[in-house]
Amino acid sequence: MSDPILLTSEQGNIGIVTLNMAHKRNALNEDAIAAIDAYFSAVPSHIRTILLTAKGDHFCAGLDLKEHHDKARSGVEFMRVCQGWHRAFDKIQHGGIPVIACLQGAVVGGGLELASACHIRVADASTFYALPEGSRGIFVGGGGSVRIPRLIGVARMTDMMMTGRVYNAEDGERVGFAQYLVPEGAALDKAVELAQRIATNAPLTNYALMHALPRIADQPADHGYFTEALMAGIAQDAPEAKARVRAFLEGKAAKVAKS
Ligand code: 1HE
């Protein structure tokens, strides 16, 4: 029997999903996309955050170029493949559960598109980012043209694809690929710490961060202000939100502390 494409496990209310194809640098074929889609379509209800990790030295080498070559897809066939990636990655971004990607080594092509669909990226010092599609005669197809410019801007993405520029871990954090940079091998521990913190938020606040914030970013300012006010009104109205404010006023909730 062949190894599973994805390994899944749980640590309390944290779900851990691991790409398990280190022999081919976790390159994603159609079955891998289907497995990602299936997991994120039916996340157990007690899971409050998900960590997306990968076996081996590299997070993900993007599209499985061997399958792509062997299948000799027509334009329409590859368009459907891309739409399958869009559906799967959309379930990561809009599934309602915060997803933290733990990055190491190559985060390239479709691997960067996958990481970009997650809400938080923790990179270790071995991480590097590239979009080699240009040199393979392909265009991004996993939602990268929509998500990556929102992280680093259109100009940087254009440069990466035109010139083959590779960002190392430090520069990647500086330009906005990852929100956290940790020593080699430490990404999972950091992600667990963040997941535990995120799980203490009011669920409605996390929901707003995943669903309202990215939509507001796409709206004209006056629509954005309206959506923001609407979301703020609904969030603060929850009994849990009232209780949290009361707890602070009674000196029972943590103050904001300098880091
Ligand atoms: C692969 C793939 C792959 C490795 N598809 N098999 N992505 C790319 O253009 C990236 C291509 N990969 C690389 O540049 C390098 O493999 C890495 C920098 C990621 C890793 O280097 P290294 O030296 O650790 O590994 P390797 O020796 O290059 O590869 C080990 C094996 O993995 C080897 O197979 P083997 O049978 O010779 O052992 C490689 O062929 C295999 N492998 N990457 C298939 N990508 C929805 S559109 C998305 C568009 C894209 O993502 S295009 C960008 C594709």
**110 contacts 62 by C-beta, under 8 angstroms:** yes
Helix (H, G, I), strand (E, B) or coil at 15: strand
Q: Is 62 in the pocket of ligand 1 (CB under 6 A)?
A: yes
Pocket test for ligand 1, best of 19, 65, 73, 90 (most atoms within 8 A of CB): 65
Spell out the SS3 assignment of 177-235.
CCCEEECCCCHHHHHHHHHHHHCCCCHHHHHHHHHHHHHHHHCCHHHHHHHHHHHHHHH
Cβ neighbours of 69 (radius 10 Å): 9
**73 contacts 181 by C-beta, under 8 angstroms:** no
Torsion angles phi and psi, residue 169, rounded to 5: -60, -45
The per-residue pLDDT for 1 is: 67
The per-residue pLDDT for 203 is: 86
Catalytic choice (133, 184, 240, 250)? 133
Active site residue 173: no
Which residue bears the tokens 């035109």?
Answer: 162
pLDDT digits (tens, 9 = 90+) for 48-99: 999 999 999 999 999 999 999 999 999 999 999 999 999 999 999 999 999 9
Positions in the chain short of pLDDT 70: 1
Q: For the chain, state the CA radius of gyration.
A: 19
Distance (angstroms) between ligand 1 centre and the Cα of 161 equals 17
Rounded CA separation 55/147 (Å): 24
What the block records as the tokens of 39 is 């997991």
Rounded CA separation 92/87 (Å): 9
The protein residue whose alpha carbon is closest to atom 15 in ligand 1 is 61
Q: Is 136 in the pocket of ligand 1 (CB under 6 A)?
A: yes
Active site residue 67: no
Cβ neighbours of 106 (radius 10 Å): 26
Helix (H, G, I), strand (E, B) or coil at 102: strand
Distance (angstroms) between ligand 1 centre and the Cα of 62 equals 8
Distance (angstroms) between ligand 1 centre and the Cα of 10 equals 29
Atom of ligand 1 nearest to the CA of 85: 46
The protein residue whose alpha carbon is closest to atom 24 in ligand 1 is 25
Catalytic choice (10, 30, 113, 193)? 113
Q: Is 59 in the pocket of ligand 1 (CB under 6 A)?
A: no
The protein residue whose alpha carbon is closest to atom 30 in ligand 1 is 24
Which residue bears the tokens 């959506």?
Answer: 227
